[in-house]
Amino acid sequence: MLVLSRKKDESIVIGESIVLTIIDIRGDRVRIGIEAPREIPVHRREISIAIQSAEAELKNIGSGVEIGGSSPVESTWIATRSRYFVLLD
């Protein structure tokens, strides 16, 4: 893992098309701006893990995805651009 130090308004460039900019630093919170091409997905790690889990679940249940459910926690599957997300009501 490469570890870099940056101050507010400083950037890191990844490859030729991704730029990370430190927008704000407040206490232990850092706000980061990310410029990347649309075809490169950018997610927080916990969202990425949820997407991967939802995709694995979809592979397990095949093409017969039902909208809603009968469990105490209702769920709805949403397809956007070949990605699938589950929304918990």
What integer pLDDT is reported at residue 48 of this predicted model? 87
pLDDT at 88 over 60: no
Kindly report the pTM of this predicted structure.
0.60
What are the tens digits of pLDDT across the range 8-58?
A: 999 999 999 999 999 999 999 999 999 999 898 888 888 888 888 888 877
What integer pLDDT is reported at residue 41 of this predicted model? 87
The Cα 86–Cα 78 span in angstroms is 6
Cβ distance 77 to 64 under 8 Å? Answer: no
Cβ distance 48 to 18 under 8 Å? Answer: no
What integer pLDDT is reported at residue 2 of this predicted model? 92
What integer pLDDT is reported at residue 63 of this predicted model? 52
